[in-house]
Structure formats: structure tokens, C-alpha cells
Amino acid sequence: MTNVSPSSSPLDWTSLPTGQHRHRFGNATLGFDAWIWRGAPGPVLLVNGATHGDEYEGPTLLRQWIDTWNPTDLRGTVILVPVLNEAAFGARQRFHPVDGENLARAFPGTGDGSSTSQLAHLFDTKVLAHATHYVDLHSGGLALELHPWVGYIVGGGTERNATQRAMAACFDSFWCWAGPFLPGRTLSAAFTRKVAAIYTECRGAGGVLPEDLAALNRGLQNLLIELGCVAGPKPTLADQPFHQSIEAEETHLQAHHPAPHAGTFEPLVELRDTVEATAKLGSVQPDDGGPSTAIYAETGGTIVLRRYEPAVQSGDALFVIVPL
Ligand SMILES: [Zn+2]
């Protein structure tokens, strides 16, 4: 394919010719770079990383694809945005360094709000609005470690549900978590626009696991075949453990097993451990040397999230348990 640009011109990317293009959305201080492969008419697949600035798996994977992917006979359009939240990524922190806001709570955003709100609005109106399929690549970042999963929002109708389930199945190294609509997310904006959408959550724990990168890589390859963007035999997919949450609260990662006060977190259980309800999971030692406070399981199930960073503030989520 011909490498056109780099371009920061305000051209309508949907009219770009066949080939590979680099395109800047927004301006130098508020925007993001996208790599766009245009093929024959077909699906429009959008994939991004670093909605949160401390998550490195998505950016690493997508940059590898940008460096090496040279499809022939591409059907449709593929848009890769390695780093959506550039300011947060540059600052090596989860949230935007200027306004302190969480981009994953800011959608659909506004054109005249905070930097984070404007970024959400830019992505939603200029990119997501033109997609037919969407993948948002997340991870536990610097503070958390996760038993990796792929998820989506249910409730958009039988057809979209089936499409999203099939998209999620492509990431067959991960377990699958379907849940109800939660506001503010990239997937909420996709849901409102009736775009079939999934997200992935990799281990995090301050780094990038090679097996997570391999799992994402395989998932993206599978997805391109599933959507018919590239030719190839349908892959044989592994069965995924599956859980569907009915209550939105269950899928709200920041709401479970909160630290009772600031201090040092000392876990007693490992990621992926199966625990009984009321089991002791760990404790938080206060900084003033007072007695530690024990953390007990809210429910029985598998530990899918564990706090990684030992220093905690009051209210920080320490564990999430899912009945897998
Ligand atoms: Zn994230």
C-alpha cells in the first residue's frame, strides 16, 4: 500500500483513497494520531489504546501492527489509534494531567468543555461515528492487576448482541464478561451510536506481559477474518468462560472491596484464586502504625482484579470477584 502523508489537514478521512494513511485528528495539544487502511467497501473497524494513560498493552500492540501490517486485498477500513489520551500517556498517568478527569467517564463529551470532554467529543463525532465495529484496549495499568477479559454491553438488540459476542470470541485467550450499560465509557458512546463494540482488559501491573500481547495479536487477527476484512480460514476458537452481569454495580470495578482508609495494602490471595464469600482477602495497614483492617470477600467466586500498587488511599478498589 502507498504511504500517504503524515497529514494534519482537516480533510474528511472517510474520503481517503485506497491505501495506508496517517491522519491527525484535532490539533497539536488536543487530539490524536490515527493510522488508516482503506480497502474495498466493507466494515469500518476502529481500535484504540490508552484511553487511560497508564495502560501500555494497547499502544504496544497497535504500534507493532502499524510497523508491520501490510494487507493485500483489504475489504473495508481499519483505523488504529495507539494512544487516544496523549496528555495522560505523556504524563504516565491514568487521567488527564490538566483537568484530572477520567476519559472513560467523559463520553460523549462536548466541544467546549474540559480538555477531556473535548477529546471524548472529538473521538466520538469524528471517528466512532463512522465505525461499524469498535475495540477499546484497556488494562490494569500501574495500580491494578487483572485476570484478562474481553467484554461488551448487552441490551442493544439480538443482532448487535450476537455480533459483539462473536467479536469477543475472537479474543479467545480471555474470559468474557457481558454487562449492562454504564454511562461515560467509550463503549457507551458506541452503544448509543449502535456500533458493535467490545473492550479488552489485560493484566496491567505496571507492565506488558508477552502472553497478553500474543493474546491481543491473535484476537485482532481473528477479528479481521471474522468481519471479512481479510481473507483466511475461520480460526478454531477456544471456549471462553462467560459471565453476564445483570446489575450494573457488579461491573463497576472501582466500587468493590474499597480500602477502608489510607495505608499499605497486604493481599492474602492471588489473582485467579477461587474464594468463598466472607473469606479474608487481605488487609490495609494504616500509616500511623495503628491496627490493620481486614478485607473480607463480598461474594464467592474468582479474583479477577487485585490491587497491585501497595500504597492505597481510602476508597481505592482492592479486589473484584466474579462467579466464573
Ligand atoms: Zn483502562
Give the model confidence (pLDDT) of 166-197 as tens digits: 999 999 999 999 999 999 999 999 999 999 99
- What is the 46 CA–ligand 1 centroid distance (Å)? 17
Please indicate, yes or no, whether residues 133 and 61 belong to a single structural domain of this protein.
yes
pTM over 0.85: yes
Please indicate, yes or no, whether residues 225 and 276 belong to a single structural domain of this protein.
no
Domain that holds residue 26: 2-250
pLDDT-derived band at 11 (thresholds 50, 70, 90) equals low
Please indicate, yes or no, whether residues 145 and 292 belong to a single structural domain of this protein.
no
- What is the 93 CA–ligand 1 centroid distance (Å)? 11
**Mean pLDDT over residues 113-127, rounded?**
97
User: CA 260, CA 312: separation in Å to the nearest integer?
Assistant: 10
* Range from 9-18, 67-76, 234-243, 301-310 carrying the lowest mean pLDDT: 9-18
C-alpha grid cell, residue 51: 484511553
- What is the 294 CA–ligand 1 centroid distance (Å)? 27
Q: What CATH number corresponds to the domain at position 85?
A: 3.40.630.10
The pLDDT score that the predictor gives to residue 247 is: 85
Residue reference for cell 505523556: 90
- What is the 51 CA–ligand 1 centroid distance (Å)? 6
- What is the 210 CA–ligand 1 centroid distance (Å)? 18
Please indicate, yes or no, whether residues 307 and 232 belong to a single structural domain of this protein.
no
**Mean pLDDT over residues 88-96, rounded?**
97
Count of domains forming the chain: 2
- What is the 107 CA–ligand 1 centroid distance (Å)? 14
pLDDT digit string (tens) for 143-171?
A: 999 999 999 999 999 999 999 999 999 99
Q: For the chain, what is the largest distance between any 2 Cα atoms, rounded to a whole number of angstroms?
A: 66
- What is the 23 CA–ligand 1 centroid distance (Å)? 24
Please indicate, yes or no, whether residues 186 and 291 belong to a single structural domain of this protein.
no
- What is the 9 CA–ligand 1 centroid distance (Å)? 30
**Mean pLDDT over residues 75-97, rounded?**
97
Please indicate, yes or no, whether residues 79 and 29 belong to a single structural domain of this protein.
yes
